[in-house]
Amino acid sequence: MTSKRIVDHPVLDKLQIGEKITFTYDGKELFGYENDTIASALLANGIRTLRYHEASGTPRGIYCNIGHCFECRVTVNGVSNVRACLTPIQPNMVVESGDVQPSPLDPNQEGEPPKTYQEFQQWEEKRSNKNE
């Protein structure tokens, strides 16, 4: 498959590429580069559909790519509802698409969903510690 990655940007010039990182998506081994988010690595590998809408079943993927819309939710290392656009890839990370992800706005879940990247990092840390 031909990479969809932009390496020579018309405005930003030649982009720096970090160290190559291998991860899996739905059981398929893929690669990205250091500082890629899951979303950018998947897009570079030609993957656009990440899950399916809870009610309509329509495909969902990367919409805003800045953490506001919740459309890019995937399961990472067994933890569901992880936003692909905010989460950097890690070596040997296991990412899975989902037919349906739990609602991030479910009132039965603990606390409010994160609104900033800093809140998201703190929220992810709490979730990771809870699942250990």
Q: CA 42: distance to chain centroid?
A: 8
pLDDT in tens, 64-94: 888 888 889 899 998 888 999 999 999 999 9
What is the CB neighbour count within 10 angstroms for residue 44?
18
Q: Is a pLDDT exceeding 70 seen at residue 1?
A: no
Is the overall model pTM greater than 0.95, yes or no? Answer: no
More confident call, 103 vs 62: 62
What pLDDT, on a 0 to 100 scale, did the predictor assign at position 40?
92
φ, ψ of residue 127 in degrees (nearest 5): -65, -40
What are the chain's domains? 21-98 (3.10.20.440)
- 79, 57 Cβ separation under 8 angstroms: no
Q: Check whether 48 has a pLDDT greater than 80.
A: yes
Q: Are 72 and 85 in contact (CB under 8 A)?
A: yes
